[in-house]
Amino acid sequence: MNNRIKIEMQSKPVNESFARSAVSAFIAPLDPTLEELADVRTAVSEAVTNSIIHGYAMGDGVITLEMCICGDLLTVEIKDRGRGIKDIEQAMQPYFTTGPEGERSGMGFAVMKAFMDKVEVFSKPAEGTVVRLIKRISSADA
């Protein structure tokens, strides 16, 4: 099955649960296992949270969630036009956070990497960030 959907949302924390629901609904036809579903929901939640609290730390913006299924391969892109990431490698280190005052765990990227097959990050300071999450959904072969 091939399919694609694109959603734009305001960078509000309340939309994190919407993004999770949207990706759940999108992959439902692939009949994912409960574990796969939880993995994808968690990774998407992390990426959207990052866009809201880091990308758009200075104010509201638009987050684009683009999801694509190609065969058994799920790709989710979370895109913002926020402040971008200065040092991607550093940002991806477990426990690294720029926002200790918000009691952030610094585990966002580590969780994405653990729960997805592949995580790609493209970012430019003052222009924005794209996080691409890729996962093979095992039951899609059936």
Partner 1 sequence: MIKLNYRISDAELTVFLKDEIDQNSAGPIRECIDCLVGRNRSVRKLIFDLSKVTFMDSSGIGVILGRYKLMAARGGTIGIANPNESIVKILRIAGIYKLTNKVS
User: Is 104 a catalytic site residue?
Assistant: yes
Minimum CB separation from partner 1 for residue 2, in Å? 28
DSSP track, the chain: -EEEEEEEEES-TTHHHHHHHHHHHHHGGG---HHHHHHHHHHHHHHHHHIIIIITTTS--EEEEEEEEETTEEEEEEEE-SS--S-HHHHTSTT--S-GGGT--S-HHHHHHHHSSEEEEEEETTTEEEEEEEEE-GGGG-
Nearer to partner 1 (CB atom), residue 71 or residue 102: 102
Binding-site ranges for partner 1 (CB under 8 A): 13-14, 16-17, 20, 34-35, 38-39, 41-42, 45-46, 49, 52-53, 102-105, 107-108, 110-111, 114-115
Shortest spacing between CB 6 and partner 1, in angstroms:
22
Of the candidates 104, 120, 127, 136, the residue annotated as catalytic is 104
Pick 39 or 77: Cβ nearer partner 1: 39
Q: Nearer Cβ to partner 1, position 77 or 109?
A: 109
Q: Are 52 and 63 within 8 A, CB to CB?
A: yes
Of 50, 77, 89, 103, the active-site residue reads 50
Out of 46, 81, 127, 132, the active site residue is 46
CA nearest to 64, candidates 49, 53, 48, 50: 48
- The pair of structure tokens assigned to 19 is 């993004």
For the bound state, the minimum distance from the C-beta of residue 95 to partner 1, rounded and expressed in Å, comes to 9
User: 81 an active-site residue?
Assistant: no
Task: Identify whether 8 is a catalytic site residue.
Answer: no
Q: Mind telling me the catalytic residues? A: 46, 50, 104
